[in-house]
Every structure is written in C-alpha cells, then in structure tokens.
Chains A and B, each alone.
Chain A
Amino acid sequence: MAKPPEPIEEVMPQATWVVEAEVKEVLATGPAPAAPANAKPGATSVGYKSASQTVKLTVTNVLKGEKAAELVVEKPVGSYSLRPGNKGPFLIDASKTILGRYGPDSWNLERVKSAMK
C-alpha cells in the first residue's frame, strides 16, 4: 500500500543497526499474502503486499550497531520485496527485522544520517 514511509523520527529509536548494505542473496521466501478483497482493476493504494523474505546483506558501512560484514535479516510481509543487488540504507531492529515501509527505499542516506544526529 503506497502510504508514505513512516516518519523516520518514529522508527529510528527502534533501530539496533543502521547500515549501508547490498542484498547478496535471498535465502528464503515466505508464503504469498492473500490479495486484498474487492480490489478494483487499475486502483492504487489497494494494499497488495509481498511475501516475507530472509536475505543476506553485504554490509559496506555501519552507521550504528555492532560492526559486521554480513547480516542475515528478515524482510517482513509488506509493500516491497528485495532482489540480489538491491542496496541502500537499512534500519534493522534487535530481532534482525528490516524496518521502514519500503526497506532501503524508505529514506535516503542523507535523511537517515540527519535523523541519527
């Protein structure tokens, strides 16, 4: 569902890791969520969701949290999916779940750095 990303000020406190990273591999994909009921053809913001994924990230820069070269994290059921090569700033919580409605596309790096100050 194409709501805007959550305000980063609300999400940042939940982040254990803030890293710049690239998806190296999709290790697993969960069951496909049901399509929204009564979705009209051509309508937008209907609320389609992508399956959860377990992905391995190659970390290029750690902005917050323990240093790591690789992280295996969970992408929850939501409004985006990941493929190898996708990259950007990832906010990750203590349970190693990616935060932000659109994962690495939720906020650009400048915005993330600004919110960390």
Chain B
Amino acid sequence: MPIRFNDTKLGSLYTNFEAQKRTNPNLKLGQEQVLQLVALVGDGNRGWSANKVAAELAKPGVSRDAQIALVKGGMTANEKKDLAAILDQGTVPLDPSAKQFLEAVLDRSAPQPPPPPPTNGLAVSGDQKNGLTGTTKAGATIEAINISTAPGGRLHMDDTSVIGKADANGQFNMAKLTGDQAMREGDLIRMRARYADGTTSDWLTVKASGIAAKDTSNATVALFRIGMADAGGGKVSVSNINSSRQVSEPGAQLEFTNKRTGEKARVTVTETGGFPDGFKLNGKPGDSFAVAASDGVNNTAFTESVGNVTVSGGAPQTTDLIPDPALHADELDSAGKPRFSKTNFTGPLFIDGAKPEDVQQGQIGDCYFPAAMAAIAKQNPDAINNMVKDNGDGTYTVTFKQKDWSSGRFKDVAIKVDGDLYSRSYGGALYGHSSNSSDPKKMELWFPLVEKAYAQWKGSYNEIGNGGHSSDVFEAVLGKDGQDMYISTGNLDRVFDTIKKAVDAKQPVAAGTYHDESKYTNTGVYGDHAYSVLGYEQVGAEKFVILRNPWGESEPSGNGANDGIFKLKLSEFGKLYQNLMYTN
C-alpha cells in the first residue's frame, strides 16, 4: 500500500525513488539519497529552504551527529511520521548505514557502543563518492592531503588540511578535501586523526574510489625536482632535489629514456614521493632523459612523456644557476648563433609591489604577455606579488596555473629561474624589462623574471614571441578561465558593460587591435597589438576606455606624458580594437 505522505515534497522524492526501483530492482537507498530525503524534512521548524538544509548537511567535515541534530531540530511531527513510514513501510530498501541514520533521526536506535578503536587509530570504510567515512577516537579531527595532486604544487606530504571531526561515537563521514586538493577517482589520500591531547594516529593512505566511473588522472610529475648528476663510470645519479616535497605520488612508475642511447629504465616512486636511495641510470654529463609516468592505470605503455631532464655538465660550475630559455629566432645570426649575450641582473624583485607602469615590453612579439601582466598588476597586484618568490640563492620560483582539461581544474606549475637576462651590448635587458632602471643592479625584476619563466615553461622565447592571447596569460596567472569578446559597432554598450563589470570586480582586461596596419598610421594606436585596459570613465553620456601600451610609451596625442597610458572615446575604441580579453 502506498505511503500517504504529509510532506508533499518528501512524497514526490520518495515516489521518484520508487519509480527508479521499478527499472532497477537492485536499487537500495544509501546515505546520499537519505540525506536528500531528510533535507526536505529538516526545513520545517526553522523556516530554512530545503536547499539551505541540504547545503548544511553536505558541508565538508560535518559529523554524523551534527547531521542528525540538524534534521531533528527542523523536523515537524508530521514529517517525523513520514520518515517513520519510509522506515517501516517503504518499498525501496535502505542500506544498513542509511537505515541506521534514519533510526537515529527518529530516536529509535539504541545507544551505540563506541566502535572498537582501529588498530592504527584510524580506519576508513566504503567508497569516497560522498567523501571520506570512517572511525577513530571520539572527538578527533581528521587531517588529510591529496598526495596525487600535491607534487604539482608546493605542499609537503604532511601539509594536511582538517577535513572533518569524529563524533561522540568516533565516527566521521562526508569529509572532503577541496580546491586543488579535491579527490578524483584513483587519487591517493594521506590522512591521520589528531586526538584531543595533540597526539596523532598512524598515517593511513586511501585510494579514492566511487567518485567517477574511470580513473583518468595520471600521476603528476614535478620535473623541476628531479636532479641528475654525473656519478662517474658511465652512471648518472638521480635524486629528488627537494626531498621534503614529492617528485610524484608513491607507487607511481617513472620511465627514463636516454635520448642519446635510447636505453630505458623504470623506477617506482617511494612512499615519501622520491627515488630509492642510490638510484642511477646509464648516462653521462649532457645526456637528456625523456620522463614518462604511469599510475598503473593511465599511460601504462609510457608512450606520453611529461618532459625532459638533462644531466648537468661535468665541467666546472659556471655562474649560470639554471639553464635559460633559448633566444627568439629573430635574435640568432645566419649560423643560428645568439647575437646577444646574458647579464646577471641582481636588482630588487619588487619596488613597492607590482604596478602596471613597471611593465615594459622588450624586442619580442609577445605584446599579449606584458599587456596581460600590466592589467593584472593594476587590478590584482597581490596575484603577482604572491606568484614570484626569491629563493635567496640567486634563483626565483614563479608559480603559474595550468588547466587540467580532463578535470577542468587548475594546478600549480612552479618554474625556477635565475637573474640571467639577454641584454644589449650597451646595457639593458633585450626582452621584457622594468621602467625604473636599465642597470643590472637596480632594475626591478618581477616582470622580466615572470616573462622568462613563461618562456622557460613554454619552451623558449621563440615559443612565446610569435603572438598569443592575453586571456591565456590571465588563466596562467590567476587560474581562472579566460574569455574573448569580439568588438563591433553593434555591441559597444555590451563591451563597455563588460569592461565596467570586470574593472569594478578587480579583474584584469586587455584589448587587441586588428591586423590591418593601414588604419593605424598616425592614430597613436598600433595594429596587431595588445593593450591593457586599465579602467573606464563615463562623463555624462560619453563613455571612455583607459588603455596602456605595454611598450610604456607611444600613445595618441593629447594624453599627457608619453607613458603609454591614454583615454579613447568608446566609439573610437570600437573602430580601432577588435577583441576584448578578460576572465570570468
């Protein structure tokens, strides 16, 4: 006999489950479905919406006891009868944990004896579809780190986040990692419980399952942490140059292919994310090794390489701390040799933080890059201040964001560079530089170093110096999806609104001109060029866009000092510019 529900929403959802049962006779209601049901009854007494209750129930780290209390506190007498009917007369079976949860909500369950403490102080049960569920000591906090995603960033293996708390019975459920650490199918989660007295359980590593049908995330490899050195006798020693952080996830296999000899060798990443002591390859100084990884599920044939690592030369150490990105092809002579040499710049990384006027494009066709960086410096200087770190040893680490298209998430990519910059014979950096000084001991370094790191990441200055989109740079710095909007005389109001909205929200904007140079001569604006959009103005009905030429000079006349900053009427902007680049 069908249940007569007092709460129509609850009735509707349960009827839906009954319909699913008819097509799937094996259907059982689990914790996820029961939480959907109780979200509809937890709203009654509080005046909350069901969505609000559902959100509270699903908050990372909320304990089972807290969930039960939340539902009981919002439930009316009639809704309680509805839940009792589901429990007693329902035609869709409940799995044991779901049944126990409903019984607890209805105060039917006998007091649960504390579960026996797990042998190592922490145990995880079930899959991770709804997060991590398990037992430990009552009241302990649960700490975890995703050691599959961590190698791409700067976390140590014990840089955990608190993801939940055990209730009075020692149970925790729906504990989740978030952001870059969010669990994906097959990820390794390293976790422990921290007790009230400050002591901790043993570490426990869980392989996440039940999140997706397939594990599509291969092991991440931090190439920049792989050090190779001549060990003599035709051997090369391989080590983790930052042993407190991971090269890859424990258990992953890395295959090294000597590009000179073709010889291949594999190694299994240790429990600490590095290499076994004494790991060596056959090779000699100058050899380059292609590195491929597999987590045992993805890339099992090791056909996809993640990059190359080169054995440092056996010659005496030079002052070049890190190999530099190659020059743009325009700066090579007919024999392919560089026409410019490098100078070590040792000036301050920042002078009063990052500012748009610091940015000066050099002799390279990467205007989209300085235009984007100046726009970010205007709207969100902290993003730049935080992305460049002085390591104190003549090197700097620049951290970009790279989108993982399989998951849609961004991960950190740390690029280490030194202060060597290609320079002119009479002084000053050839490529991107800063406005304060051309003196190698005084020039503010953040912009040329970020540009150098971008070239290093992408392969060379040639790779970044033949055009691009500022929106790609916004993504690489901010980890937010970039957007492009084409400009026409018919959408100028929408263009202005987009600029206004982005600028007001402190989001960077850039604009690109057309490739048809014939329209630009004597306008003060240049074709095939990107500009930072620094702001907007509205005077009565007249709208203006404030722009900056990344050269740091050259602008339409009548705009004050020749600093590259100028103002255009929106109508004029619409004639000279073809697209707007911004972030969500």
Contacts and interface: CB of A to CB of B under 8 A. Distances in A.
Interface in A25-81: 36, 39-40, 42-48, 50, 79-81
B468 A81 contact: no
B527 A79 contact: yes
A50 B368 CA distance: 21
Contacts of A42: 469, 484, 486, 512, 578-579, 581
B361 interface: yes
Contacts of B468: 40, 43-45
Contacts of A6: 363
Contact of A2 (B484, B518, B530): B530
Interface string B537-568: 00000000000000100100000001000000
B125 to A, nearest CB: 50
Interface in B107-141: none
A83 B518 CA distance: 8
B486 A45 contact: no
A44 B529 contact: yes
Nearest to A106: B554
A103 B521 CA distance: 9
Contacts of A46: 365, 466-467, 515, 528
Interface in A60-117: 79-83, 85-88, 102-105, 108
A7 B57 CA distance: 64
Interface residues of A, number: 33
B515 A45 contact: no
A104 B522 contact: yes
B522 A2 contact: no
Given A44-B367, A45-B367, A5 B554 contact: yes
B526 A105 contact: yes
B520 interface: yes
Contacts of A81: 517-518, 521
Nearest to B512: A44
A85 B578 CA distance: 25
Contacts of A82: 521
Interface in B326-369: 361-368
Interface string B22-45: 000000000000000000000000
B344 to A, nearest CB: 22
Contacts of B528: 1-2, 44-48, 79
A4 interface: yes
B322 to A, nearest CB: 26
Q: Which of A46, A103, A104 has the most CB of B within 10 A?
A: A46
Contact of A80 (B527, B551, B554): B527
A9 to B, nearest CB: 8
A40 B581 CA distance: 14
Interface in B352-409: 361-368, 371
A10 to B, nearest CB: 9
Interface in B436-477: 465-470
B521 A79 contact: no
A85 B528 CA distance: 22
Given A86-B522, A88-B522, A104-B522, A43 B368 contact: yes
B362 A4 contact: yes
A108 B524 CA distance: 10
Contacts of B486: 42
B246 interface: no
Contacts of B371: 44
A109 to B, nearest CB: 11
Nearest to A1: B365
A3 B363 contact: yes
B560 to A, nearest CB: 13
B513 interface: yes
B469 A105 contact: no
A36 B201 CA distance: 62
Interface in B420-446: 424, 426
B365 A45 contact: yes
B423 to A, nearest CB: 12
Given A3-B361, A4-B551, A108-B562, A44 B518 contact: no
A45 B368 contact: yes
A47 B467 contact: yes
Contacts of A88: 522
A79 B516 CA distance: 9
B37 to A, nearest CB: 49
A64 B60 CA distance: 75
A44 B467 contact: yes
A2 B521 contact: no
Given A4-B551, A44-B513, 10 more contacts: A44-B368, A44-B530, A45-B465, A47-B528, A79-B527, A81-B518, A82-B521, A83-B518, A85-B522, A105-B526
Q: Shortest 4 CB-CB distances between A and B: which pairs?
A: A2-B529, A46-B467, A45-B365, A48-B515
20 contacts: A2-B513, A2-B527, A6-B363, A9-B426, A43-B467, A43-B468, A43-B469, A44-B371, A44-B469, A44-B529, A45-B366, A46-B467, A48-B515, A48-B517, A80-B521, A81-B518, A83-B521, A102-B526, A104-B522, A105-B524
Interface of A: 1-7, 9, 36, 39-40, 42-48, 50, 79-83, 85-88, 102-105, 108
